[in-house]
C-alpha cells in the first residue's frame, strides 16, 4: 500500500480498546483529549444573536447547545457565517461614518445592531427591534436620537466567558503540542485527532472573525424616542422588511408585544468567501487517505466522502445563492431546487458519517496511536 507523511499504517500491530497502563495513554485519554478540546472550542466560538425578551433561560441554553452541535458537525458553515458577518459589519461601519450621530460607532456596534441588540421604545411604551436599514434611515432622518453607547458598555453587557476561552486556548495549545511531539517521534494519530484538528482550525477562524462581536447578550440596548410607533414605521413602510445587503442578512421589524423574535434570512451570499471556507473541509479529511481503518469498506467510504465534500459545495453554494435571489423576487428555477435539496441532504449525511467514523474507527487503530510522547527522546535537551 502506498504511504504518505500523514499515513498511520506504519505500525503492523493494531489494537482496539486500550485500558489505562503505565507510560501508555488509554482510549479514555484519547476520547477525553479530543472531546474536551472540541467542546471548549465550540463553546467559545459560538456567538448567538440577542434572544427575544420572552425567551427563557432553558430555551437559550437549548439554542446554545443546538448551535454548538452545528459547529461540531459543520464547523465550516459557522466559519462562513462569521466571515460573512465580519464583511457586513465592516461595510456597516462605513455607513455609520456617513451619519453624524453614528460616526463614533465601531465594529462592536455594527455587530450589536446586526444581531438584534438594539430595541426602540416609544413614548407609549411600545418596543420593537428595527431592521438594520430601517435603523439607519431613522438615525439619518433624525426620527430617533441615538444616545452615547460606549464600547465599554457593550463589553460589560457581553458575557465574554474568559475562563472558558482561556481553557479553550490552553487545551488547544496542549493538544497541538501533543500532536507536534507525535509527529517528531513518528507516532501515528487517529482519525478522531485529525477531525479535532479540523474543528480547531475552523473554530479559530470563526473566533477571529467574531473577535469584536458581543457574546451571550441576553437583553438588547433600549433607545427611547418621543416619536410614536406609527411615526417611526411610516418613515418608510417598505424598509421595515427590506433587505440590507451589507450585513448579508435581514432582520425583520417585529412587535415586541407579540414576540419580538428576530426573523432573518440570508440576503447576500459572497460566493468567494463561502467557497473558500467550505471547500477546504473535504481536502482536510483527505489527509487520512492512507490511514488504517477497521475495514476496507470504511476506508473507501471515507475517501469518497472526502472527495464529495470537496466538490459538492462548488455545486450547491451557487445554487443556494440563486435560490436566495429567487426569494428576493427574482425568477425561480426548479432545476436549482431539484439539485439543491438532495445536495444539501447528501452533504449533511456525509458530514455525519465523517464524524461518526472518526469515533468508530478507534476500535481498530495502530498500536502506536497509544504511544505516549517521550519528550526526552524527541528533544534530547529536555532530558539533559
Q: Which pLDDT band, with edges at 50, 70 and 90, does 378 fall under? A: low
Counting residues of the chain whose pLDDT is more than 70, the rounded percentage is 78
Calpha distance 38→9 (Å, rounded): 25
Query: How buried is 16 (Cβ within 10 angstroms: 0-12 exposed, 13-18 middle, 19+ buried)?
Result: exposed
d(CA 366, CA 355): 19
Residue 239 has pLDDT above 80, yes or no: no
- Residue 213 C-alpha cell reads as 462581536
**Would you tell me how many other CB atoms lie within 10 Å of the CB of residue 327?**
13
- Of 140, 155, 157, the closest CA to residue 103 belongs to 140
pLDDT tens readout for residues 171-182: 999 999 999 988
Residues 6 or more apart in contact with residue 109 via CB below 8 angstroms: 96, 102, 149, 151, 154
* 336: region left, alpha or beta (phi > 0 left; psi from -120 to 50 alpha): alpha
CB 126 within 8 Å of CB 257: yes
CA–CA separation, 28 vs 38, rounded Å?
A: 15
The pLDDT assigned to 111 comes to 93
* pLDDT above 60 (res 117): yes
| Per-residue pLDDT tens digits for 269-325 | 466 777 778 788 889 999 999 999 999 999 999 999 999 999 888 877 777 666 655
Separation between Cα atoms, residue 318 and residue 270, nearest integer Å: 10
355 burial (CB, 10 Å; 0-12 / 13-18 / 19+) is middle
d(CA 189, CA 181): 11
**Which uninterrupted H or E stretch holds 216?**
none
In this prediction the pTM is: 0.81
What is the residue-averaged pLDDT of the chain? 79
Contact 221, 119 (CB under 8 A): yes
Going by their DSSP bridges, the two strands 221-224 and 118-121 should be labelled as: parallel
> What distance in Å separates the CA atoms of residue 241 and residue 189, rounded to the nearest whole number?
51
Q: Number of C-alpha atoms within 13 angstroms, CB side, residue 210? A: 26
Q: In this predicted structure, which of 63-72, 339-348, 373-382 has the lowest mean pLDDT?
A: 373-382
154 pLDDT higher than 70: yes
User: Taking residues 116-120, what's their average pLDDT?
Assistant: 89
- Find the range with the poorest average confidence among 133-142, 149-158, 326-335: 326-335
More confident residue, 317 or 242: 317
DSSP string for 266-313: B----HHHHHHHHTTHHHHHGGGTT---SSHHHHHHHHHHHHHHHHHH
Domain ranges (residues) in the chain: 27-268, 279-364
Q: Grid coordinates 459589519 are at which residue?
A: 89
φ and ψ of 53, to 5 deg: -65, -30
DSSP SS3 for 141: helix
Q: Residues, the chain, total? A: 384
Residue 251 has pLDDT above 90, yes or no: no
Nearest partner of 8 among 263, 350, 361, 253, judged by Cα: 361
pLDDT in the model for residue 3: 42
* C-beta separation of 270 from 86 below 8 A: no
Helix axes 162-184, 191-209, angle to 10 degrees: 140
Helix %, strand %, coil % of the chain (to 5): 60, 5, 35
Amino acid at each position: 500500500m502506498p504511504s504518505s507523511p500523514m499515513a498511520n499504517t506504519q505500525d503492523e500491530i493494531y489494537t482496539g480498546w486500550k485500558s489505562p497502563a503505565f507510560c501508555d495513554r488509554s482510549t479514555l485519554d484519547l476520547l477525553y483529549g479530543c472531546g474536551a478540546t472540541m467542546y471548549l472550542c465550540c463553546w467559545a466560538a459560538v456567538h448567538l444573536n440577542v434572544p427575544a425578551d420572552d425567551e427563557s433561560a432553558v430555551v437559550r441554553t437549548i439554542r446554545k447547545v443546538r448551535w454548538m452541535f452545528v459547529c461540531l458537525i459543520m464547523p465550516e458553515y459557522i466559519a462562513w457565517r462569521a466571515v460573512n458577518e465580519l464583511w457586513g459589519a465592516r461595510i456597516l461601519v462605513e455607513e455609520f461614518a456617513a451619519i453624524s450621530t453614528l460616526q463614533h460607532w465601531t465594529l462592536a456596534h455594527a455587530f450589536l445592531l446586526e444581531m438584534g441588540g438594539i430595541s426602540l421604545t416609544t413614548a407609549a411604551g411600545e418596543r420593537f427591534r428595527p431592521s438594520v436599514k430601517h435603523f439607519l434611515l431613522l438615525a439619518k432622518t433624525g426620527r430617533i436620537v441615538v444616545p452615547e453607547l460606549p464600547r465599554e458598555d457593550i463589553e460589560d453587557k457581553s458575557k465574554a466567558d474568559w475562563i472558558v476561552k482561556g481553557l479553550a486556548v490552553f487545551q488547544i495549545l496542549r493538544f497541538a503540542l501533543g500532536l507536534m511531539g507525535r509527529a517528531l517521534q513518528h507516532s501515528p494519530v487517529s482519525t478522531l485527532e485529525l477531525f479535532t484538528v479540523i474543528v480547531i482550525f475552523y473554530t479559530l477562524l470563526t473566533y477571529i472573525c467574531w473577535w469584536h462581536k458581543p457574546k451571550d447578550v441576553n437583553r438588547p440596548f433600549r433607545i427611547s424616542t418621543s416619536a410614536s410607533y406609527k411615526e417611526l414605521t411610516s418613515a418608510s413602510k417598505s424598509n421595515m422588511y427590506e433587505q440590507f445587503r451589507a450585513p448579508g442578512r435581514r432582520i425583520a421589524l417585529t412587535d415586541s408585544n407579540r414576540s419580538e423574535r428576530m426573523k432573518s434570512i440570508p440576503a447576500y451570499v459572497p460566493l468567494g468567501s463561502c467557497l473558500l471556507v467550505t471547500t477546504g473541509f473535504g481536502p482536510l479529511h483527505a489527509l487520512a487517505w492512507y490511514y488504517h481503518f477497521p475495514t476496507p469498506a470504511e476506508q473507501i467510504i471515507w475517501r469518497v466522502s472526502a472527495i464529495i465534500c470537496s466538490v459538492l459545495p462548488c455545486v450547491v453554494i451557487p445554487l443556494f445563492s440563486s435560490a436566495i435571489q429567487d426569494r428576493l423576487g427574482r425568477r425561480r428555477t426548479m432545476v436549482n431546487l431539484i439539485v439543491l435539496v438532495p445536495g444539501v441532504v447528501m452533504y449533511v449525511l456525509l458530514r455525519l458519517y465523517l464524524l461518526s467514523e472518526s469515533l468508530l474507527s478507534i476500535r481498530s487503530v495502530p498500536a502506536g496511536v497509544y504511544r505516549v510522547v517521550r519528550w526526552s527522546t524527541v528533544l534530547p535537551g529536555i532530558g539533559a
